[in-house]
Structure 1
Amino acid sequence: MSSERKDQHVDLADAQQQTASPARNDFDDVRFVHHALAGLDRDAVSLATSFAGIEWPVPLYVNGMTGGSTRTGEINRQLAIAARETGIPIATGSMSVALREPDMVGTFRVMRDENPDGYVCVNLSADATPDDAARVVDLLEADALQVHLNAVQETVMPEGSRGFSAWPDNIAAIVDRLDVPVIVKEVGFGLSRPTLERLADLGVAVADVSGAGGTDFARIENARRAENDYAFMAGWGQSAVCCLLDAVDAAPGDVPALVASGGVRTPLDVVRALALGARAVGVSGVFLHAVLNGGEEALIARIRAWLEQIAQLQALLGASTPTALVHTDVLLRGGVREFCELRGVDAAAFSRRSERHTGSSDEE
């Protein structure tokens, strides 16, 4: 049953990618102000990023997707090869199934076997025990653990959990137990500022805001219901853009270091998220679609193209590092501007950031 569900998730997630053009989302409400003399030489641009003691050569990662069946094990093999060949970090899908069904461990372990020197994150749900967390880290010799928050998905899932109150204590215990970084992430419904503040209180150093606008697990789980009776849950939550803006004026330590995912369609979306304060950006749906339609070679070509385009956009915007993008001028429009107004965020200030940045360091 678990293997069948994993395969269903892949098909339903990819179906959401199969449109003639990418669906509009909140990233489209973020536009850069063009300054024609702000550019740098491409050779002066670095893609390296660091946050909470983590150092990555690029600000892009393959976010957690799948595993737990023969088919998804092959997908993970292809994802891992692409990560190895391009040098980008990668995360597994949830390994809860591997804890219940040891025969499925290999469908996740292939990510380390094919990528022995890469940065690999393992993934578990927030109701996992510290022992479970330590076990999956050991199984893949992982560099970090992602803990996913998926209350919306569980609510719509026919066989989902209906109990979420233990999650904060579980997260704190996992953080205390592990020697590797713990990254708490949503699965596509966003992390509000109060949630981020609570995660910081629990000792979490990194959070992936993983917002709405990309793969919608409420839609996926509703499609698995006989009566499709949770259609009203489609579109639930905040986008990655809005989550980053919600937390943008937080003092150091008030919220974890932020990375972002959810609805990332192009290299421009990556750069937009970095400009709003993300230290790195994760991609799932677009990369999954590339693998399913062209294998690892197609994904390798896609990632290499994205990395070069990200670097070129940094050069165009005058940002020598990903972190320097927070000093670029952006216009926040439409629904994003409305979100800012309702949440007390000064949207207009983002259009004049370069005026306030006069020779200070790129690094925050």
Structure 2
Amino acid sequence: MKDIQSHRKDEHVSLAEHFYQDQAKAGFQQVRILPNSLPEIDKAQINLKSQFGGIVTDCPFYIEAMTGGSSYTGKLNASLARIAKATHLAMAVGSQSVALKQPALQSTFETVRKINPDGVIAANIGANHSAVDAQKAIDMIDANLLEVHINAAQEIVMPEGDRQFNWLTNIKEIVQSVSVPVIVKEVGFGMTKQTMQKLAAIGVQSINVAGHGGTNFVKIENERRHDKVYGYLQDYGITTVESLLESQALQNKLHILACGGIRTPLDMTKSFALGAEMVGIAGKILHSLLREGEEQTIQMITDWQEQLADLLTLQGASSIKQLNCQNLVFDAALRDYCGQRKIEIN
């Protein structure tokens, strides 16, 4: 009989695809980019290099954590690793907690490093784990970085989820102890300025705000419940755009990353203008892999890289750092959000 954690990994992939929507609700439709009719730049000048938790990468987006922990998801990890290698993207694996409990499942994560020996790869573990476990996850795949995910809302709705959330001590010990840079990330419910301040205070230097609007783990976990009583929480959290706005005052102190409902190079460009140094893509890439296969997904990503350079050219920006909020116009609802949250747009 399949272990419940491995079965959950398969369910997560199946339900993420079941609930996938081409039009996300991450707030990007509330943001418009002002045109620059005189870009005064040559596309050959565009430099797409960025930093992933302090590590320089060739491209400012990466394959966000999704999978691993079962036979089926191990095969998906292998596919994603081949895609990452072909497109020179960094990638993160899904939560390795299951492999720490069951060493036989480590191969479903180790395959990523075997296929892509020179790639930038992030390990992944929950904030309920110790620094010792975190280092084991890193060593398992010879990771360049570690994502520590915080997912209280998901755990509450998950039938077998945790109910104890005293995580700051663990995160502090992990940051101070492990051998690679650490990124603390939400899983799709967004982060407020206050949460980011607490993380910064314990030494966290990189944060992925991971907002609402993409893969919805309340919907996924509620679907896994027999009683399905948490449907009313499916809109819980703040969007990716709102989360990036929350980060404004901390962007000179922290590396800010974003994911959650990012579907196009235009969404990426808006994220960079809002202060993200790097964006993660999960749902769109998984959807393409499952529906179209590896080769088509590689082509989609290659097209994105070309189109992202086109959009920077259109804005007259030679790098993503030259994009900022002065390039943007917000709708009334987003301006109202900023007013209530006392967010000043720099």
TM-score (norm 1): 0.91
> Is residue 135–residue 179 contact of structure 2 (8 Å, CA) maintained in 1?
no
> Is 1:3 matched up with 2:14?
no
Tell me how far 1:202 sits from its aligned partner: 1.1
- Partner of residue 338, structure 1: 336
Match in the other structure for 1:217: 217
Q: Choose which of 253, 271, 274 in structure 1 pairs with 2:272.
A: 274
- Say which SS state the counterpart of residue 304 (structure 2) adopts: helix
Compared with structure 1, are the counterparts of its residues 285 and 39 closer, same or farther at alpha carbon in structure 2 (3 Å cutoff)? farther
Whether the 8 Å contact between 1:137 and 1:145 is mirrored in structure 2 is yes
Letter of the structure 1 residue corresponding to residue 302 of structure 2: R
User: Does 2:117 align with 1:135?
Assistant: no
- Quote the Cα distance in structure 1 between the aligned partners of 2:291 and 2:244: 32
Give how far 1:249 is off: 2.8
How many positions carry a matched residue from both structures? Answer: 343
Separation in structure 1 between the aligned mates of residue 263 and residue 147 of structure 2, nearest angstrom: 22
Preserved contact between residue 39 and residue 316 of structure 1 (Cα < 8 Å):
no
How far 1:251 sits from its partner (Å)?
6.5
Match in the other structure for 1:12: 15
Matches within 5 A, 1:19-98: 19=21, 21-50=22-51, 53-98=54-99
Answer whether contact 1:98 1:104 (CA < 8 A) is retained.
Answer: yes
Deviations 1:231-277 (A, max 9, x none): 01101111111111112133633xx2101000101110011000100
Report the more deviating stretch, 37-46 or 314-323: 37-46
Deviation at 1:335, TM superposition (A): 3.0
Contact in 1 for aligned 2:193/2:247 (Cα 8 Å): yes
Paired residues of 2:26 and 2:241 also in contact (CA < 8 A): no
Q: Secondary structure at the match of 2:249?
A: coil
Shift of 1:56: 1.1
Contact 2:87 2:301 in 1 (8 A): yes
**Unmatched 5+ residue regions in structure 2?**
none
Q: How does 1:250-289 map onto structure 2 within 5 Å?
A: 250=250, 252-253=252-253, 256-289=254-287
Question: 5+ unaligned residues in a row in structure 1: which ranges?
Answer: 350-364
Structure 2 match to 1:353: none
What is the aligned-residue RMSD (CA, Å)?
Answer: 1.4
* Aligned-partner Cα distance in 1 for 2:92–2:155: 21
Q: Which stretch of the first structure deviates more once superposed, 213-222 or 330-339?
A: 330-339
The question of whether the paired residues in 1 share the 8 Å contact of 2:51 and 2:57 is answered with yes
CA distance in 2, matches of 1:106, 1:251: 37
**SS of corresponding position for 2:153:** helix
Aligned partner of residue 291 in structure 2, secondary structure:
helix
How far off is 1:24 after superposition? Answer: 4.0
1:342–1:41 distance in 2 versus 1, CA, 3 Å:
same
Which secondary structure does the structure 2 equivalent of 1:331 belong to?
strand
SS at match of 1:174: helix
Equivalent in the alignment of 1:144: 145
Deviations 1:296-323 (A, max 9, x none): 2121111111111111000000110011
Residues 4-29 of structure 1 show CA distances to partners (whole Å, capped at 9, x for unaligned) of: 11111001101122x4x414441111
Q: What does residue 314 of structure 2 align with?
A: 316
More deviation in 209-218 or 297-306? 297-306
Aligned AA (1:148): H
Q: Do the aligned residues in 2 keep the contact of 1:26 with 1:335 (CA within 8 Å)? A: no
Match of 1:361 in 2: none
**Post-superposition offset of 1:100:** 0.7
Q: Is 2:104 the partner of 1:103?
A: yes
Provide the residue aligned with 2:123 in structure 1: 122
For residues 214 and 119 of structure 1, do their structure 2 counterparts lie closer, same or farther at Cα, with a shift above 3 Å needed? same
CA shift for structure 1 position 39: 4.7
Residues 84 and 177 of structure 1: is their aligned pair in 2 closer, same or farther, counting only changes over 3 Å?
A: same
Q: Which amino acid aligns with 1:129?
A: S
Equivalent position SS for 1:110: helix
Cα distance between partner residues in 1 of 2:295 and 2:116: 15
Alpha-carbon contact 1:61-1:90 (below 8 Å) kept = yes
What code does the residue aligned with 2:73 have?
T
Q: Secondary structure at the match of 1:46?
A: coil
TM, length-normalised to structure 2: 0.96
Q: Determine if the alignment matches structure 1 residue 295 to structure 2 residue 293.
A: yes
Post-superposition Cα deviations, 1:206-231, rounded to whole Å, max 9, x if no partner, equal 01000000000001000011111000
Q: Distance in 1 between matches of 2:277 and 2:66?
A: 20
Cα pair 1:63 1:91 within 8 Å, conserved: yes
Q: 1:327 to 1:234 in 2, by over 3 A?
A: closer
Compared CA separation, residues 132 and 302, structure 1 to 2 (3 A)? same
Q: Provide the C-alpha distance between the structure 1 equivalents of 2:205 and 2:344, rounded to a whole number of angstroms.
A: 26
Is 1:61–1:281's contact at 8 Å kept on the other side of the alignment? yes
For 2:81 and 2:200, how far apart are their aligned partners in 1? Answer: 31
Give the drift of 1:114. Answer: 0.8
How far the C-alpha of 1:328 sits from its partner, in A, is 4.6
**Contact (CA 8 Å) 2:191, 2:246: kept in 1 or not?**
no
The alpha-carbon deviation at position 35 of structure 1 amounts to 2.1
Q: Is the 8 A contact 1:56 1:89 kept in 2?
A: yes
Equivalent position SS for 2:196:
helix
